[in-house]
Amino acid sequence: MEYVLKTNSLCKSYGGFRALNGVSMSVPKGAIYGFIGKNGAGKTTFIRIICGLQEPTSGDYVLYGKNNTDKDIVKSRRRMGAIVETPSIYLDMTAEDNLKTQYRILGLPSFDGLNDILKLVGLENTAKKKAKHFSLGMRQRLGIAIALVGDPDFLILDEPVNGLDPQGIVEIRELILKLNHEKQITVLISSHILDELSRLATHYGFIDKGRIIKEITANELENVCRKCVRVEVTNVKALAVLLDELEIKYNIISDKTVDIFKKINVSKLVMLLSKRSCEVISMTERDENLESYFINLIGGVTYE
């Protein structure tokens, strides 16, 4: 398999704090790679290093066959486009002028392809409207347009749907799929909106406390995700103790909700819980999703 990016034991420390702690991951060519972790897990630090905005404390990475210590790594980075944290746009400029500025920054000899990029992201009809009057979703699409200047074949997006309304989220999702399917652009997406990410990703990397704890394809994830019964109760601790006694696997989702990974006798469960002063509020059959898989992977919710 051909990889756009491979990292090897990548570490980054700030004083006594280690933001990345031996990150090794691989992004296959043509993938939409979902990079998943809680706030503070190390996602943005990782992205900043890959984009050349920071240097790793130790470890290395290979981008399009070039090691980060090679002088030619700059050539590999020219094949990348990125949005790190927030889109870098000039609010007092139009979409077209924002793109022209990026063309100049990259030293491109002409504005060839500019109108094609605007059309691709759905901003071709914004005319002289300044970016400060754009909706948040339009600004995000403009940010992606700027990242596409120079015709990159690897796109890194840090929380691209954060703060967007449902319509804006759909627009960004469709754009990412279009870039991947029609332009064959490999995409690395950092996000904590896991339901949306599950509609896009072909591969996943899970990071926790600066470490990659799992890499898995979407197909593998589908195979390992289990059917479960989601139970809402008045006393999660009582339910957890009972399930431990019955040797039934479960995952605590919240202070009222538990996923149970076994067919259960509803009447018996209700009766046993009532003896422990615990009432069943609701019960629903469901498949384990990306969010519950992630929660289970990092240890879920624990009670003392």
Q: What is the CATH number of the domain that holds 251?
A: 3.30.70.100
Please give the C-alpha separations between residue 96 and each of 116, 160, 175, in angstroms, as whole numbers: 11, 21, 18
Question: Are 158 and 269 in a shared domain?
Answer: no
Domain edge (last residue) among 194, 222, 250? 222
Question: Are 268 and 152 in a shared domain?
Answer: no
Q: What is the number of domains present in the chain?
A: 2
Residue 245 belongs to a domain: yes
Q: How far is CA 206 from the centre of its chain?
A: 9
pLDDT at 19: 94
What whole-number distance in Å separates Cα of residue 172 and Cα of residue 297?
A: 28
pLDDT at 286: 77
Residue 271's domain comprises 226-288
Question: Are 212 and 230 in a shared domain?
Answer: no
Residue 294 belongs to a domain: no
pLDDT at 303: 36
Question: Are 230 and 262 in a shared domain?
Answer: yes
Pairing of strands 280-287, 227-233: antiparallel
Question: Are 154 and 83 in a shared domain?
Answer: yes
Question: Are 110 and 171 in a shared domain?
Answer: yes
Residue 87 belongs to a domain: yes
Question: Are 198 and 241 in a shared domain?
Answer: no
Domain edge (last residue) among 181, 197, 222? 222
Residue 61 belongs to a domain: yes
Residue 216 belongs to a domain: yes
Question: Are 104 and 250 in a shared domain?
Answer: no
Question: Are 246 and 215 in a shared domain?
Answer: no
**Helices (H) and strands (E) in the chain — how many of each?**
11, 15
Question: Are 194 and 278 in a shared domain?
Answer: no
Which spans in 94-165 are helix H? 95-105, 114-120, 136-148
Q: Flag residues of the chain having pLDDT under 50.
A: 301-304
Question: Are 126 and 271 in a shared domain?
Answer: no
pLDDT at 210: 93
CATH number, residue 80:
3.40.50.300
- pTM of structure: 0.78
What whole-number distance in Å separates Cα of residue 30 and Cα of residue 152?
A: 13
